[in-house]
A and B are shown apart, each in its own frame.
Chain A
């Protein structure tokens, strides 16, 4: 494959069906395949038990689907990066979503609701990693922990709490929590953003800065 300029990629892929377009499509498929295999190799731990053939088939499917997606979105390429870098983001998005689907299985809003008390209990505990309580800092820390717990409980609605628990406290993926809440990833981000803004405003209303609170925990 000889290197192509952005203009050459656009020209060849937009051409009428023929030799130039077929060659460009073949090159694009090949680049996408190489890119996605790098990504899958970096995430081999998510593919434990997958043999070479299964990985090859997954990569081929992802490359094929992405070629179609790119052809539909060619008009969206504005030349702000190399064409190939632009193209790789589509296949990496698909591959990342696929691997996340492999990791999670049917999380539900009910499950997040049930896990909420324990998740907050763990995050807002007044004990350190070894289960110890430092008497010198205990009072101040407990005050801040209880304050945040109270603000979360009184200011956030059920879905906002579930989103905070799933994404920020349990470390689940956005895709997984979005699916549990019946939302798109974009809508979940907005839900979380609104929740964080609300928590930030309530802390500001009490004239508490980040530094004030962290000082009690990092001393």
Chain B
């Protein structure tokens, strides 16, 4: 575990670019990035700087995952009605594996 932390930090250091996009610009690009990704494309081709930022910034990465899950469901015509989602909060024990709409990483 200790070395994993060191290796992760080291990879982030070496992946550092001379200039990187800030969080605000990345957030603005996320909708187009996610649709490009969901169409089966490699986002590194069209959005290399956004992809690089997502590897460094945990908060933007979390929001990217969330947007991708929602956009993926909508693209499949499977975005649940509000009532359907709310039912999952009715006295249901929290299960890590019981997720909906999770999209595997490309």
Please give the residue numbers on chain A whose beta carbons come within 8 Å of chain B beta carbons, in ascending order: 30-31, 33-35, 37-42, 44-45, 47-48, 50-52, 55-56, 59, 76, 80-82, 84-86, 88-89, 92-93, 95-96, 100, 122-125, 127-129, 141, 145, 148, 164, 167-169, 171, 173-175, 185-186, 189-190, 192-193, 196-197, 199-200, 203, 210, 213-214, 217-218
- Chain B residues near A38 (CB-CB < 8 A): 69-70, 73, 79-80, 85, 100-101
A169→B10 CA distance, assembly (Å): 11
Q: In the complex, are the beta carbons of A123 and B94 less than 8 A apart?
A: no
**Secondary structure class of chain A's binding surface, majority of residues:** helix
Specify the main secondary structure of chain B where it touches its partner. Answer: helix
A41 touches B100 (CB 8 A): yes
7 residue pairs of the A-B complex, CB under 8 angstroms, read A38-B73, A38-B101, A42-B101, A59-B82, A128-B2, A129-B3, A203-B14
Closest chain A CB from B52 CB (angstroms): 11
Option from A92, A164, A167 in Cβ contact (under 8 Å) with B67: A92
Identity of the chain B residue whose Cβ is nearest the Cβ of A79 in the assembled complex: B32
CB of B58 closer than 8 Å to a CB of A = yes
